Amino acid sequence: MQITFKNNIKDLPKETLFISVGAKNQDEVIKEGGIKTLYLKCDEAEKMNLRKLYLLVRKMVLVAKGAKADKIALNFKDFKFSNIKLTDIELGEIIGSQLDFANYEFVEYKTPPKEGFCFIKEIFILNATKETEKAILKGNIIAGEVNKTRSLSNMPGGDMTPSILAQKAKVAMKGLPVKVTVLGEKEMEKQKMLAITSVGQGSDEESKFIIMEYNGGSKKEKPIVLVGKGVTFDTGGINLKPSNSLLGMNMDMSGGAAVIHTIALAAKMKLKKNIIGLIPSVENMASGKSYRPGDVIRSMSGQTIEVLNTDAEGRVILADALTYAQKYNPEVVIDVATLTGAAMVALGERASAIFTDDDDLAKKVEKVGEITGDYVWRLPMWEEYENEIKGSIGDFTNVHNKDSRYGGAIYGAIFLHQFIKGHKWVHIDMAPRMVAMAGENLALGATGSPVRLLYKFIEEYK
């Protein structure tokens, strides 16, 4: 999508669809005086809020695509609502990101129709200042990396193995000052990362540990470490998932995809920060070589994990990744994972669950989530919960030790906390935001969450 800035509606090409916001009681396309105008319905100004603003920008793109337009124009001033407290620069970044965000659709496996796929190819924006123009273009770059994240997550499991994910990470960093290192199973075994290799041993595909290092800050500056779950397909292992739960498990590497493109984005924007990305990547498959319920695994930390359910594999591989993260003496560690269906039970599909024992850190993440549209909600992580993951023959169980169906998202977070205690840390259970839901004005499939949140957090972190 190309973004062009104009001063006057008269400067627009004749085939451009001009969009006027809030002028009619319904969405309507009218041709007046040789100009085709889409009148886009929205709430009264006093009812508008930031969440509705995101939806409005996306809706504009979807309605225009429905009208078969490939060139559209909008007036920047139409999106300034007095009760939404945003600077023009903040508004510009939102508009720039949401335009391309809504224009995206995963069509790689579809046969193109004769007329081609319907995408907006060019957008003309009127009445934007030079500073606002920069913000809009910045938002467009952010959306580009979010959409690449979505494409990675949407790839079928047969075309997205741990080796392919590692290769995609290298491709994403091509031409950028980011060092990419990939450890295979032998290298991980030498590092005693047996939690990762144990989960992946049931697959014919070799497990990988992807390391990305971007040093944009000073040498003395402690890095922010991002850890992303990279399960490229999750059958549940010996605790096999039911058939209707297997569809979509190609997306169980969405946390890893988000980490890859957050670091690529930070490098493209030349952030003056040091950032490390770590992705443990495996296939969790059921075979004669699979790890078993009842197995006890000694993790890289030296602590043992008593496996009560092989379908709680994400937290097992993240345990080694969180231990590895401590090698960097990090300023803060954020892990991102499609960890539990329990997070969806708790929150629905509109926000990711976050966990941390640091109140200030939680507030920062919550604030950034509201600003970027990657919404989050904090759940408790009290010490008392640790009683329910104490093992009988190992140190910790990977699920509730009484086989309870309650509080699954919390126990996943409590388990992870055992491997990162003493460090600033946030766990983002993004399972609720893995795929778009009806009414979000987005294409079906992956949302690319929480790339926008991670990038803004890093950009503003002090």
Which residues are annotated as catalytic? 241, 315
Nearest to 1 by CA among 74, 61, 67, 77: 61
Asked whether the beta carbons of 318 and 336 are under 8 A apart, the reply is no
Rounded to whole angstroms, the Cα distance separating 138 from 131 reads: 11
Residue pair 448/258 in contact by the 8 Å Cβ criterion: yes
DSSP state of 431: G
- For the CA atoms of the chain, what is the radius of gyration? 23
Cβ–Cβ contacts within 10 Å for residue 75, how many?
17
Q: How far is CA 44 from CA 22, 25, 38, 59, 373, in A?
A: 8, 11, 18, 16, 21
CB 96 within 8 A of CB 52: no
Instruction: Return the structure tokens found at 298.
Output: 């000694």
CB atoms within 10 A of CB 452: 29
- Residue 280 · residue 209 · CB < 8 Å: yes
Using alpha carbons only, what angle is made at residue 136 by residues 133 and 139, rounded to the nearest 5 degrees? 150
Q: How far apart are CA 429 and CA 2, in angstroms?
A: 34
Three-class DSSP category at 414: helix
Q: Please provide the DSSP assignment of 196-217 as one string.
A: HHHHHTTSSSPPEEEEEEEE-S
